[in-house]
Amino acid sequence: MDIGIGLPSTIPGASGGQIVEWARTAEELGFSSLGVIDRLVYGNAEPLVTLGAAATATERIKLVTSILLVPFRVNAALLAKQAATVNHLSGGRLVLGMAVGGYEDDYEASGVPFSERGRRFDQMLAEMTRIWAGESRGFAGAIGPSPGVSRSQIIFGGLGGRAYARVATWGAGWIAGSRGVESFRRGAEGVRQAWAEHGRDGRPWLMALPYFSLGPESRENADAYLTDHYAIEGSAATDIAAAALTDAKAIQDAIAEYEHAGCDELLLFPCSPDPQQVRLLADAVR
């Protein structure tokens, strides 16, 4: 199983210097991917802009939106160009994870009806796929840069039949959220079933996204960040914080559990922007 690491861009106050140092150190230490998480009404950095910065600071590591909330971005053509630009700047290293999201305030802030997000998502996927394939849109032809994002670079998040069908129809894989290995196991089975029903060859790439926090203030950092980030979910925020992996043994146990459940890549997200967390995680997973 591959081990990736999230960038601290999700954490309010993380500086550009911390993010760039984090990206370079993660590549140096052999992590498979750098991930970013999306929110609109929160103090995080925008995911594609962040990956654009990471692309110029690295050479080999994959760059993953895990995930990008697509339907409140109201212009599919512009989003397709932004994603293709990150892919171009990184030399084809983008893994574009997408989903609808579940927080109404993100949609209210964008002026997009929350109730229409699934339908809008499917329409935008169809539009972006045509753009990435090079369909002419004007005097100069296609929307570039070229090449666009291929099906093999697309993954989806989300639970339920519509999410799993999108994996089988549009993408190459699926990523579970931060709700534990049993949630991953149930979702992975749904994805595999949809994959088979759509007659896809091979198998989907399966990923998961736990949180980690290491060092002397590991528990304090996990509680402070995660109860803030997930405060919109009420009492569930405390449960999410409690599930954070806060020592080497917890991380090693989680790796074993996810691998046994069929996970192909574990993308561990931080609770502190201190770049030393990258080295602490590398030591824990060795």
Q: What is the pLDDT of residues 110-147, one digit of tens each?
A: 999 999 999 999 999 999 999 999 999 999 999 999 99
Task: State pLDDT tens for residues 36-78.
Answer: 999 999 999 999 999 999 999 999 999 999 999 999 998 999 9
Cα–Cα dist 121/34, whole Å: 24
Domain boundaries, the chain: 2-285
Q: Which of 16, 68, 78 is CA-nearest to residue 37?
A: 68
Cα–Cα dist 229/82, whole Å: 26
Confidence class of residue 221 from pLDDT cuts 50, 70 and 90? very high
| Alpha helices, DSSP H, located in the chain | 16-28, 47-57, 76-89, 104-110, 117-132, 161-170, 181-197, 218-229, 236-242, 248-260, 276-285
Cα–Cα dist 33/217, whole Å: 25
Please determine, for residue 286, whether its predicted confidence score (pLDDT) is greater than 90: no
β-pair partners for 142: 136
CB 7 within 8 A of CB 22: yes
Q: Classify the phi-psi angles of 134: left when phi > 0, otherwise alpha if psi is within -120 to 50, otherwise beta.
A: left
CATH tag, 2-285: 3.20.20.30
Task: State pLDDT tens for residues 200-214.
Answer: 999 999 999 999 999
Cα–Cα dist 99/64, whole Å: 13
Task: State pLDDT tens for residues 70-83.
Answer: 999 989 999 999 99
* pLDDT averaged over every residue in the chain: 97
Buried b (16+ CB within 10 A) or exposed e, 171-201: bbbbbbbbbbbeebbebbebbbebbeeeebe
Q: 89-92: long-range contacts at Cβ-Cβ below 8 A with a sequence spacing of 24 or more?
A: 89/52, 89/55, 89/56, 90/51, 90/55, 90/58, 90/63, 91/59, 92/147, 92/153
- Overall average pLDDT of the 247-275 stretch: 98
Q: Classify the phi-psi angles of 92: left when phi > 0, otherwise alpha if psi is within -120 to 50, otherwise beta.
A: left
